[in-house]
Amino acid sequence: MSDVTQILSQIEDGDGQAAEKLLPLVYDELRKLAAEKMAQEKPGQTLQATALVHEAYIRLVDVEKAQHWDSRGHFFAAAAEAMRKILVDRARRKVRLKRGGDLRRQELDDGLIAAAGIHDDLLQLDAALEELEKRDARKAQVVKLRYFAGLTVEEAAAALGVSPSTVDRDWTYARAWLFRKMT
């Protein structure tokens, strides 16, 4: 077992100090994953990649709600899912009426620029992904692993316990299905 897998087992057993040992081992990879997610967000976000890592990490290693981690890959897939949920929740909060709803800031220098907001796209993707998950959970999981976690076909196959060709077929189908659903 790798160091990460051993520490995840200790966290699962309720060892509160194990979480402190885990962070240095996984921080760089989580930071890279968060930076990729934040790069897809609209410029000018107040949430930084570091804050996204910390919020996701807190959700993942909560000792009171100990989770079972099968492997390092399982942990990172869960981290990607936690980051996706955090970003979706932030997007939902931003479009609430209390926060200005669909009002957009208008820059005087640039005049009116009509562009679809990234938050709307993320919410639309999340809704479509939830519908796909009801129809075919594995295909939805492939999207989460490939798109949100940034895993390769081979890494996603290992995380799901299926062949790379199955992941490739699921990925192709899911992208086409989501494209059709979102357009």
* The overall pTM is greater than 0.95: no
Per-residue burial over 91-102, b if 16 or more Cβ lie within 10 Å, else e, is beebeeeeeeee
pLDDT at residue number 139: 94
Note down pLDDT in tens along the chain; length 183 residues: 467 778 877 777 777 677 777 777 888 888 888 888 777 776 666 678 888 888 888 887 765 665 666 777 777 888 888 888 888 888 787 766 555 555 555 443 332 323 334 445 778 888 899 999 999 999 999 998 888 888 889 989 988 999 999 999 999 999 889 888 887
Nearest of 71, 70, 72, 116 to residue 95 by alpha carbon:
116
pLDDT at residue number 1: 47
Query: 3-state SS of the chain?
Result: CCHHHHHHHHHHCCCCCHHHHHHHHHHHHHHHHHHHHHHCCCCCCCCCHHHHHHHHHHHHCCHHHCCCCCCHHHHHHHHHHHHHHHHHHHHHHHCCHHHCCCCCCCCCCCCCCCCCCHHHHHHHHHHHHHHHHHHCHHHHHHHHHHHHCCCCHHHHHHHHCCCHHHHHHHHHHHHHHHHHHHC
pLDDT at residue number 118: 43
pLDDT at residue number 104: 57
pLDDT at residue number 112: 30
pLDDT at residue number 105: 52
Contact between 132 and 178 (Cβ < 8 Å): yes
